[in-house]
C-alpha cells in the first residue's frame, strides 16, 4: 500500500522578481495553493513454468524446452484528492533543489479553508496482464570417421510476449466552500 501526502503551489503567471533559484509574485497576483493526498493499493501476481529435456538416439541428440509466464497486476483502489485554495501571494527559494522553500507573502493562513474554490477526487483503477511464451528445439547429428569427425546442429526458437492493460480515470468535482465543501 502506498499513501502519499504533498503540498504543491500552482505556477505564478506574473513574476515581480526572478533569479535562477528564487522568485516571488507581484502583490496583486494571487495564486492557488493545492493540497494533495494520494492513496493506491496494487496487487501483483507472477507465475511461471518451464519444461525441457534431452534425448539421445545413437548419433542424434534432441534438446528441447518450453516455458510460459504470466504477470497479473491489479490496482483496485487508486485515489487522488486535490483541493485548490485561492488568494495567496507566494515566494519560492529552490537554492537547495530537493528542499524548496515556499513563503506566503500576504499573510493568509494555509489552514484557512473558507475560500476553497474546488476539490477534485480522481479514481484511477487499472488491470494489466502480461503473458510470455517460449519454445526451443535443437537437433544435433554427430559423425565420426577414421579420418574426420564432426557434428551438424540445427534448431528453432520462438518467443512471444503480449501485454494488455485496462485503465480508466474518473474525476469528481466537490464544488466550492459556498457550495458545500467538503
Task: From residue 11, give the alpha-carbon distance in Å to each of 14, 36, 91, 151.
Answer: 9, 16, 11, 71
Helices (H), the chain: none
Residue 39's DSSP bridge partners are: 3, 79
- In this structure, the number of other CB atoms found within 10 A of the CB of residue 107 comes to 7
Mean pLDDT confidence for 62-79: 93
**Structural domain contains residue 20:** yes
**Structural domain contains residue 181:** no
**Structural domain contains residue 180:** no
Q: Which residue has the higher pLDDT, 25 or 101?
A: 101
Residue 70's DSSP bridge partners are: 47, 131
How far apart CA 172 and CA 174 sit, in angstroms, is 6
**Structural domain contains residue 179:** no
How far apart CA 28 and CA 12 sit, in angstroms, is 11
**Structural domain contains residue 178:** no
**109-133: pLDDT as tens digits:** 888 877 777 778 888 899 999 999 9
Q: By mean pLDDT, which of 43-52, 63-72, 87-96 is the weakest?
A: 87-96
Number of domain units in the chain: 1
Predicted pLDDT of residue 176: 60
**Structural domain contains residue 62:** yes
Confidence of residue 20 (pLDDT cuts 50, 70, 90): confident
Predicted pLDDT of residue 86: 83
Query: What's the grid cell of residue 113?
Result: 479553508
Q: Which of 179, 149, 173, 180 is nearest to 82 (CA)?
A: 173
Is there a contact between 46 and 2 (Cβ–Cβ < 8 Å)? no
Mean pLDDT confidence for 92-101: 89
**Structural domain contains residue 100:** yes
Confidence of residue 160 (pLDDT cuts 50, 70, 90): very high
Q: Which of 39, 43, 78, 40 is nearest to 171 (CA)?
A: 78
- Sequence-distant (6+) residues with CB within 8 A of 125 are 75, 76, 77, 78, 167, 168
- Check whether 21 has a pLDDT greater than 70: yes
User: Containing domain of residue 153, as a range?
Assistant: 2-173
Amino acid at each position: 500500500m502506498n499513501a502519499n501526502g504533498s503540498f504543491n503551489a500552482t505556477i505564478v503567471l506574473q513574476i515581480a522578481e526572478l533569479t535562477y533559484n528564487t522568485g516571488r509574485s507581484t502583490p496583486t497576483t494571487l495564486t492557488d495553493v493545492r493540497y494533495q493526498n494520494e492513496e493506491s493499493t496494487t496487487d501483483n501476481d507472477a507465475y511461471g513454468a518451464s519444461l525441457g529435456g534431452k534425448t539421445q538416439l545413437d548419433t542424434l541428440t534432441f534438446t528441447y524446452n518450453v516455458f510460459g509466464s504470466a504477470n497479473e497486476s491489479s490496482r483496485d483502489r487508486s485515489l487522488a484528492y486535490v483541493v485548490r485554495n485561492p488568494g495567496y501571494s507566494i515566494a519560492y527559494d529552490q537554492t537547495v533543489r530537493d528542499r524548496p522553500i515556499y513563503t506566503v507573502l500576504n499573510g493568509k493562513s494555509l489552514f484557512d479553508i473558507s475560500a476553497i474554490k474546488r476539490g477534485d477526487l480522481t479514481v484511477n483503477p487499472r488491470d494489466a496482464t502480461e503473458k510470455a511464451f517460449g519454445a526451443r528445439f535443437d537437433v544435433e547429428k554427430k559423425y565420426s570417421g577414421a579420418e574426420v569427425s564432426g557434428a551438424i546442429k540445427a534448431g528453432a526458437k520462438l518467443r512471444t510476449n503480449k501485454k494488455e492493460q485496462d485503465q480508466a480515470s474518473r474525476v469528481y468535482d466537490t464544488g466550492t466552500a459556498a457550495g458545500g465543501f467538503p
